[in-house]
Amino acid sequence: MLATLYTCGLRISELLNIKLLNINFTTGAIKILNSKNHENRLIVVSDSLRKKLIEYHLNYAYPINVEYFFRTTNGT
């Protein structure tokens, strides 16, 4: 989470609102919805961060029907 915050220049609220469907693991693009001034933006992460995000997703994948990428152990 910290690497994503730092390298992407995200606000905490933007990070916590990233939904799984807004991440393209192939290209490393993350769609940030409703950011500052209620605008949407697209962030392309570095290859090393993309690999970390994939690893996080594979190691901490909870039930398939979860909505948010970063979540607690009970899926919220």
**H/E element, 27:** none
End-to-end CA distance of the chain: 16
Q: Tell me the C-alpha distance between 2 and 67, whole Å.
A: 20
Mean pLDDT of 8-28: 91
pLDDT reported for residue 61? 65
Mean pLDDT of 2-14: 90
Mean pLDDT of 18-36: 91
pLDDT reported for residue 41? 92
Report residue 33 as tokens.
């919805």
Cβ-contact 53, 45 below 8 angstroms = yes
Q: What percent of the chain lies above the pLDDT cut of 70?
A: 88
pLDDT reported for residue 34? 84
Report residue 3 as tokens.
């690497």
